[in-house]
Structure 1
Amino acid sequence: MPKERLSVVVTRRLPDVVEARLTELFDTELRTDDTPMSRDELIEAMTRADVLVPTITDQIDAAMLAHAGERVKLIANYGAGVDNIDVSTARQRGILVSNTPGVTTEDTADMAMALILGVTRRIPEGLAVMQAGRWEGWAPTAFLGGRVGGRRLGILGMGRIGQAVARRANAFGMQVHYHNRRRLRPQVEEELHATYWESLDQMVSRMDVISINCPHTPSTFHLMNARRLKLMKPSAVLVNTSRGEVVDENALTRMLRAGEIAGAGLDVYEHGTDINPRLRDLENVVLLPQMGSATVEGRIEMGEKVIINIKTFDDGHRPPDLVVPSML
């Protein structure tokens, strides 16, 4: 008899080619509209599926997992971050968790560089004037930004994405500095022309641009808190394409409004879509709707990793992108 196909429930709309391949390989239930599942819908999905394919917008906590029943055996997260899933509780209940690491590295680094340029060269301000039809012609002192070349870039978190940002910054003539849990090997530092700072406070106080590229963990929550933000130079800008929770958003807003920080470029927010309205009103801030990984190629590659993880699990082997609590 042929092997019974795995039951897979997908919580959000995915690229067509990904959905088509999932349907070919598994008994797949797709989401008909592109809205997040409710808490109750997620719990119910786990009771009828062997594999759940959530996204980073789906919060799967211990209480939900307690109601999941015995059927679900794999949560194949569509995304690199897994802070939306209680991995420890899942493993205790015999549920494996996988993710899609490495796929969005280049795309997110591109966006970090775009935000650096957007803030320092005041691109959104110029765009707003053009769209409103208020441009009256070139002037010697209009929309004066700052030259990127020669500026000191401090990268907070020198993993895959941080290193990709460093390579781009080198091409723009920036001086690369970084703080990381572990210092990079000397040959990697040499390749990236990167200077290591053991003290985050000392690095922050000397940089022209801070790029946040570390994950959200208990130890990085509000790593850029009010005290540390006050160490930044008044002429410095902060860019975040990682996780909103790493920055105290209210403190950042107050300092931007007071002119204590020159500008900010944000693609992620501490409270999801609930963004401080005072932050939205500032001209020296570039806000994007979590576009860092939003490329067609990246989204398809993420889906391919999800499929490989499920197929490997279905074949009785360890998913290649298995997440274990010790990794977090």
Structure 2
Amino acid sequence: MNQLESLKKFSKIVVDSGDIESIEQYKPEDVTTNPSLILKYWNLDIYHNILINSIEYAKKKGGNLKKKVHNAVNKIAVGIGSKILEKITGYVSTEVNAKYSFSIEDCIIEGKKLISMYEEEGVNRSRVLIKLAATWECIQAAKELEKLNIKCNLTLLFSFAQAKACAEANVFLISPFVGRIYDWYNLHYPLLQYDVNKDKGVLSVKKIFNYFKTYNYNTIIMGASFRNIQQILALSGCDQLTISPILLEELKNTIGKVDKQLHIPNEITIIKPKNLSKSEFLWEHNLDQMAVETLSSGIRQFGLDQDKLEKLIIPYLI
């Protein structure tokens, strides 16, 4: 048995891609997308009709150029998500524009709008996860969206404070970014020799897993942003793992048994800790320099890729 098949016994595997061919090859239940992935794959022939339909949709909706571009980009994301859902049985994650990461109201409006656009495509909201950066504002927006039966995936999660606040808000799923945590520590405090047991990204997810399971939080933990298969295998037993096609291929081509590494604690505590206030959240998060810097840079990068997508669309709308 290869490591990918063995790993599937302990964790649900999700493909982190917008490439239909990869999705068809690995046959995951769920798929995650983001502006960077859409930018990477949007030029594929298979998505040509989605582009044309999105331009027609934006023109029909009308408004100024900015409004048309906004509608077209959202329609592309929804079109790609709908196409992916034809190939899988589970969820697709679609990201809200990162520029709304500090506005509760805008995130709620955008989340509802994306769901409405999916429903126009005949896709039930039960199959879509609205993806938001794990800022305080986005977490509060997700709390409200969940009440409307709109499930959310809180991404760009780096600090324990972010994880706790998401669980307290009853967010459906979180995506702790293992690789980006590792990158930051490797840049600032490089190890002479790599040891997965000292990998700060891996340790972060283990801490979150133990905390969530001890206090019986329902929020799903999906490890994300991996740099090597050692990180992935060290988190076998995590609820879900979203993996790039390159690392999926490496796991598929490696023969060997995978052992479960994460286990639900024997003692479960029914009484949960007191919820974090906004000031407590901001203080705890701010104490973690890595989390502050990586969250900020992640939001900026997704924002830049969103800008690139919009610039590609403009010529079609003029």
TM-score, normalised to structure 2, is: 0.31
Q: Greater helix share, 1 or 2?
A: 2
TM-score, normalised to structure 1, is: 0.31
Larger Rg: 1
